[in-house]
Chain A
């Protein structure tokens, strides 16, 4: 097994305590940063280590931080995205429940790089234990001088506040999340301006995922070169994969990126629950599925993008021979339709119709032409949605239709022959 970096203390019942964290090198990275690096040098180190965002898009973290204007007189904000709602994803919950100091230390480092003194940690409301453990971690870090005024006797000061979400997947979209922190409904906002320029309270803001921030303490304790040496050049660093669905050993795995999807499912996931795998979703339900014939695809940001899907949240969902793809497609589409914020027509109306048609096909009332209709809807939603929720929904449904059209047709043909 490869070295466990992010999951080192995950099975320790005291892993969430600051003593455990410090005993395994915790807060050393922060000491090194405050002693040896200027904020700009932190950004450069993160760029050269090529840390890419773990929240969904794989955007280079150092580059994002670099967009924060240096000369702005406004306060800067850091917001950690712990809204984790992408079906198939549970990595951030496990990190926060069992080893939250990695995240707190990472937030202190990121805040130093962008000159931020107030940070918000946006945790979804159902994550009661994560909220408790992060709250305790913040208090413990304060007591040891890792948070608050003049951290470790430096000029850097930071307060972290937890903002509890309340059950809205769309608030994981960064601009919707900022609206939510401002006390509004979670509706996405037009970009540009990007949050780095005008984000929370119209001030320069960086939004990063939990796992992205949790990588930082390790990156600085062991160096950017060490970080870049793990996995492929274009997608380096320790990475968490959540394996779920119809496989024998669901769970959270830390593996280098670049492993074949099939190997991940067979070797780590323990193989299909029943018979063989039929298909798999590589990065949460927004990520287009692959049929078994494409299981040699490599699990990293660039390879998956080149293969027409994405690493997304790295929630890998196995579908075995017993899975009905029309049912899978219906459930995914219902999810997006339910979580659509309603702001733009293609997503709000298109997904409502797509879900209706999929339910009718499943109920044996499909009509000839339904699949074409679905494809047309996907084409109308994709590229015309205000935010990536609509695009992801259409993209995911489109892949199911493309790879498994005969399954949909069979349901419809069976019906038209019976009727």
Chain B
């Protein structure tokens, strides 16, 4: 999120990249998604101040930005932990044990899907097909796929992530 930054900080930090993105499209509205994505990469999520900054940079109504931010599930509108674990629970993964793995993760992290651990280290999400069903059961930790999961592999992954800062917010 944009923390202690002011609107003008955010605007000046995003301006150059947003300008660049705008050249790809005949309308400024088309640049809303890429601009939100840039903001999320920089600040780890999006919030009211981000919408206002994007709207002013693109010279579009703020509601257009909010409409988009609230429709697409990959824009984080609430604070997330340092590591975001997205476990796929769709059919091919379910058929190879995703539900048991979800229970295991919930137990180990002591949170439910959609929640963040008290120490702010992990956010756990149950997600739809990640497009990697050949690796089922599969999850995404931050930007990385991990497949052919077992409970032991999950434990090893959690241990290795616990000591790491997030590789890259996204």
| A interface list, Cβ under 8 A from B | 84-90, 92-93, 124-128, 161, 163-169, 180-186, 201, 242-246, 250-252, 273, 281, 285, 315, 317, 319, 323, 327-328, 331-332, 335, 338-339
Contacts and interface: CB of A to CB of B under 8 A. Distances in A.
A281 B90 CA distance: 14
Contacts of B27: 182-183, 201
Contact of B136 (A85, A250, A285): A250
27 contacts: A85-B129, A85-B131, A86-B129, A87-B91, A87-B92, A88-B91, A88-B92, A126-B131, A127-B131, A161-B25, A166-B37, A167-B74, A168-B72, A182-B27, A182-B29, A183-B27, A183-B32, A245-B92, A245-B95, A245-B133, A250-B135, A285-B90, A323-B95, A331-B89, A331-B90, A331-B91, A335-B128
B56 to A, nearest CB: 15
B39 to A, nearest CB: 12
B33 A166 contact: yes
Interface string B147-162: 0000000000000000
B164 interface: no
Given A180-B33, A184-B68, A317-B95, A93 B75 contact: no
Contact of B128 (A85, A186, A243, A250): A85
A127 B144 CA distance: 10
B30 A183 contact: yes
Interface residues of B, number: 40
Contacts of B60: 183
A126 B95 contact: no
Contacts of B132: 90, 93
B140 interface: yes
Contacts of B29: 182-184
A250 B133 contact: yes
Contacts of A165: 72, 74
Given A164-B33, A166-B75, A245 B91 contact: yes
Of B27, B60, B74, B95, chain A has the most CB atoms within 10 Å of the CB of B95
Contact of A338 (B31, B95, B128, B133): B128
Contacts of B52: none
B131 to A, nearest CB: 5
B8 interface: no
A125 B24 CA distance: 18
A90 B131 contact: yes
B33 A93 contact: no
A87 B73 contact: no
Given A167-B72, A183-B31, A201-B26, A87 B133 contact: yes
A93 B140 CA distance: 15
B95 A246 contact: yes
A166 B92 contact: no
A163 B32 CA distance: 11
Nearest to B26: A201
Contacts of A186: 71-72
Interface string B61-101: 00010011001111100000000000001111011100000
Interface centre among A85, A126, A182, A184 (most CB of B within 10 A): A126
Closest 4 CB pairs of A and B: A166-B72, A183-B29, A167-B73, A167-B74
Given A127-B131, A245-B136, A246-B96, 5 more contacts: A128-B143, A168-B73, A182-B30, A183-B32, A331-B89
B134 A251 contact: yes
B140 A126 contact: yes
Contacts of A164: 33-34, 37
A121 B64 CA distance: 23
B131 A328 contact: no
Interface string B2-36: 00000000000000000000001111011111101
A285 B91 contact: yes
Contacts of A251: 134
Given A90-B134, A93-B131, A185-B67, A317 B92 contact: yes
B116 interface: no
B170 interface: yes
Contacts of B57: none
A161 B24 contact: yes
Contacts of A245: 91-92, 95-96, 133, 136
Interface in B102-128: 128
